[in-house]
Structure 1
């Protein structure tokens, strides 16, 4: 056995990322040090990518949590979850011809956290963030320069990478970096656990037996269909109640969780919560009401209370990662 190698992997989920941030705030308090120092590699998708980039910059998690909570309405809206046919139709129409939201408020929040000019190469901790390169028609991982071949991403601004991983189709505009177009990394890796393990093995030379991974969700890992909806669903039927999005996110997360349990066994911990049927009616990727905030934070507090004394989790928080070796510097 070699030295322990800790990975923190954060799932996407829109405003439900407040769950992750609230939970991470409690973990950072328990660790008694900036949480990134407990991990040798950070990974995050969409809102999880935004949080991971903030952690990599050693921003206090409590500040990230508060930024998400206090700016949720500005980023999305103060509308509650749509109810009934008319409400659902209006919600559908908002994104029929253009994105439901613009990214200006989200950009401002990210810049307030990490700075407008901070570059990937300025970050003191290893991090990977997935997005979809629409120009190339390929998935892409943005990375710190922790391998000799990683020579380009370090010059990109953190805010641009954050907007790329969070550019959810129909919710936000397509992101652009150096004339290339990007969409949300959740289209292929909403839970970036496997990507992070691959990175550790193939680019950082870690043995699988030394890798420990803490994965944190966004309460989005459950879905089910009722026969009452019928089987002849078109665009309207699949978009109502965010059915298609929920199926994509939850299916990915279950698949990744299944494989990670096999690959890492007891070196893998997944912290998440399941929304009750009543809560599902009032929570969604873009519902940022005060009531939604309280429910999300309540779910996170319950997860923290039930898991904080688990010895495996304590081992993650007790770890202190050595300073990473970066092979290139920002010009």
Structure 2
């Protein structure tokens, strides 16, 4: 009886009956009882068929990642007690600063700043906002003797002789012109060493590996020795540590030095920020969802690309007019300083336009693809701006964007959170109605038995 009722509810909610306005999040898929795993990676949360069809993609952008963190904070409020990773079981992909947020969402334990100890469960989204405020202050420091020495030493991953040679040369040039502060603003070397970032990540992630992620993780980087993309993931590189993957993905040229990493299988990679080629890795995020789906289900049940709900969150892009005026008559130096931001924003826009066309061709763009982005002033677009007024402005932009009914965040909530809750309420009502009918039938039978005995 119950299966017939659930079949009727599904019939109504999937668009064939009167309940089609509740949203498009229901489509043909197996129940949680039919899910099976033959993957080397094992998900650490209870599988939800609907959540397995949702994927999350987080852009890069340095300190602007606090905008992304704030959006996720509001999203988690809408989820009413659930964590972001529970809702996006298809996988979470992050590039550069987005990789740090993705790993915090997926971590099975988190660092409690108040107690100084690790505790069970992922970082709550509201703590990731605090996480970012602390990280910006620690990582993007101004002048200190230690930072100055690290900037001119350059001995990040070099042998003894090479490190000594580079150190002597830097001392002759940088100390000679008193320009060791941020390596002439990134002109003659990375603006920052990655020592502070590594220490921060070690404190917050410890020895966690991608195999420990609560749901599938994917972190984007780029191998500069072989000119090829690197996708660290829970499936392909499960032994890679959170800390190493995050350092590789966030090693933005001119900001941080490249990072060499051994993946435990294919050798050593000298990596830089994945944003140089794929700052908004939406297609890679969908690929992760497909791989995860294929690992859990029979070939006949595996989903297609347009079955997935994709939420992509950016870190803001600079106002076009202000950039055009700044670069209109610029030469190599000015263009070089903006090239990283232009590359990141350009690849993000390209991904967005291509995904729009793909979902549009399938007739499901408004229901299954959501891109949250905001417009920034030149000062707000700086990836290493540590001013409190800037971080407050980015958080305020997130608040405005999630409150505006005309923007994608509210549309996503209407379709895939409020709509799902309506379906659950309707299913509960059907169950209650069935129980009531059974109870009434039992009462009638008892009354008939009592009457016959009399």
Q: Normalised by the size of structure 1, how large is the TM-score?
A: 0.82
Alpha-carbon distance in 2 for matches of 1:257, 1:167:
24
* Residue 160, structure 1, aligned to residue 244, structure 2: yes
* Partner SS for 2:404: helix
Q: Name the counterpart of 2:304.
A: 207
Offset, 1:110: 2.0
* Partner SS for 1:154: coil
Q: Name the counterpart of 1:313.
A: 413
Q: Using CA pairs under 8 Å that are at least 6 residues apart, name the structure with larger relative contact order, 1 or 2.
A: 1
1:53–1:127 contact (8 Å) kept in structure 2:
yes
Number of equivalences: 297
* Partner SS for 2:246: helix
Q: Name the counterpart of 1:185.
A: 274
* Residue 74, structure 1, aligned to residue 138, structure 2: yes
Q: Name the counterpart of 2:94.
A: 44
1:222–1:250 contact (8 Å) kept in structure 2:
no
- Structure 1 317/131 Cα, relative in aligned 2: closer, same or farther at 3 Å? farther
Q: Name the counterpart of 1:273.
A: 374
- Structure 1 246/311 Cα, relative in aligned 2: closer, same or farther at 3 Å? closer
Offset, 1:201: 3.5
Superimposed CA distance per residue, residues 242-297 of structure 1 (whole angstroms, 9 cap, x where no aligned partner): 4212321221121111111111212101111112xxx3235411101111111111
Q: Name the counterpart of 1:249.
A: 344
Offset, 1:18: 0.4
Q: Which has the higher helix share?
A: 2
- Structure 1 303/311 Cα, relative in aligned 2: closer, same or farther at 3 Å? closer
Superimposed CA distance per residue, residues 123-164 of structure 1 (whole angstroms, 9 cap, x where no aligned partner): 12111111002233211100002xxxx3xx111111000100
Alpha-carbon distance in 2 for matches of 1:134, 1:243:
20
Alpha-carbon distance in 2 for matches of 1:309, 1:8:
13
Within the candidate set 157, 176, 197, 1:106 is matched to: 197
Q: Name the counterpart of 1:19.
A: 67
1:15–1:285 contact (8 Å) kept in structure 2:
yes
1:219–1:273 contact (8 Å) kept in structure 2:
yes
Q: Name the counterpart of 2:451.
A: none
Q: Normalised by the size of structure 2, how large is the TM-score?
A: 0.61
* Residue 263, structure 1, aligned to residue 358, structure 2: yes
- Structure 1 110/188 Cα, relative in aligned 2: closer, same or farther at 3 Å? same
Q: Name the counterpart of 1:96.
A: 187
- Structure 1 62/227 Cα, relative in aligned 2: closer, same or farther at 3 Å? closer
Offset, 1:238: 0.6
Offset, 1:209: 2.7
Offset, 1:56: 1.2
Q: Name the counterpart of 1:324.
A: none
Which structure 1 segments of 5+ residues have no match? 80-89, 321-331
Most deviating of 281-290 and 308-317: 308-317
Alpha-carbon distance in 2 for matches of 1:78, 1:62:
27
Q: Name the counterpart of 2:28.
A: 2
Q: Name the counterpart of 1:87.
A: none
- Structure 1 13/282 Cα, relative in aligned 2: closer, same or farther at 3 Å? closer
- Structure 1 216/227 Cα, relative in aligned 2: closer, same or farther at 3 Å? closer
CA-based RMSD of the aligned residues comes to 2.4
- Structure number with greater Rg is 2
- Counterparts of 1:299-310 in structure 2 under 5 Å? 299-306=397-404, 310=410
Alpha-carbon distance in 1 for matches of 2:281, 2:254:
22
* Residue 289, structure 1, aligned to residue 387, structure 2: yes
2:372–2:409 contact (8 Å) kept in structure 1:
no
1:223–1:246 contact (8 Å) kept in structure 2:
no
Offset, 1:233: 1.9
2:370–2:409 contact (8 Å) kept in structure 1:
no
Q: Name the counterpart of 1:134.
A: 224
